[in-house]
Structures are given as C-alpha cells and as structure tokens.
Structure 1
C-alpha cells in the first residue's frame, strides 16, 4: 500500500469528506491541518504544497508519487488501487 499524506484545513468540508472517505476505505494516512500549525510550520507546509502543486489548494493528497488536489474520489481510488 502506498503511503498516503493529506494536507487539509480543519474547517474545510472537502477536507473532512476526504478524511471520512479514507477512513471508510480503511486507508491509513497521515494528515496535517495546516491552519492549526504554528506560523513557522504553517509557512513551511504551504511552501511544500506550492512546490508540489504550483498553487495552494485543499485538500492536497499525496499517494506515493501522485499528487491530487481536491477531493476527487475516482482519482483517489485509482491511486490507491481500490
């Protein structure tokens, strides 16, 4: 199983739906609620998201080498081999 990492916002409905989906599918994942990070760590996380996606949008999901921006269930399923 590929490592799954999620950059999210604690108040974002799409981020919450993505977390729920991953949990319902039994996928173990790491997540970072970027808005809850201290300022210096938040800046670092945002820089990483921009490096990966060339923009700053949530949720940003990294599955192995694949980066998916937004809660795109079909793409996430495909990347996870579901």
Structure 2
C-alpha cells in the first residue's frame, strides 16, 4: 500500500541515518528534508513547518500520512503496512 512519507532529518544525525536505511531496506518511497543542508530562508521555512508538525522539533521526525513518529521500528512497520516477518 502506498503511503505518503516525509522525513525531516539532519545530515549528521545517527538516528536519522537509521531511519533512512530502514526506509531504503523496505523500498519505501519518501520525501526527505535535510534541514541542516538548506540555505537560511529554506531552513527557516522547514523549521517553521516542522514545529507545526512536531512542536518539540526533534530529529528525525517522520510523517506517515497524518501520523508523526520517531524511529520506532515496530510502529513504522505497522504504519507502512510492512509484515513483521520482513527484515
């Protein structure tokens, strides 16, 4: 099942890298916003958008459809419709 997935990430964040690897491993298409690599104006807009979604503005912030989650592998599998036996 196709789901709209957006990842707010920092290029140097180890947990963000784990989320990216998880999504890649499970062939999940996603939009990535590497906040720390954006220029000043774009970064400001991305942080403003992120604050609306996740007031704590923590990284990674993963938005699956309308659900906002961090890196909780079992929850991600459930939201993305990935079988628990997949690796």
TM-score relative to the length of structure 1: 0.94
Task: Write out aligned runs for 1:1-82 (5 A).
Answer: 1-68=2-69, 70-82=70-82
Distance 1:54 1:33 in 2: 18
Gaps of 5+ in 2: 83-87
Q: How many pairs are equivalent?
A: 81
TM-score relative to the length of structure 2: 0.89
- Kindly name which structure, 1 or 2, has the bigger radius of gyration based on alpha carbons: 2
- Structure 1 moving runs of 4+ over 6 Å: none
CA RMSD of aligned residues (A): 0.8
Distance 2:30 2:59 in 1: 16
Gaps of 5+ in 1: none
CA shift digits 1:21-41 (9 cap, x unpaired): 000001111101100000111
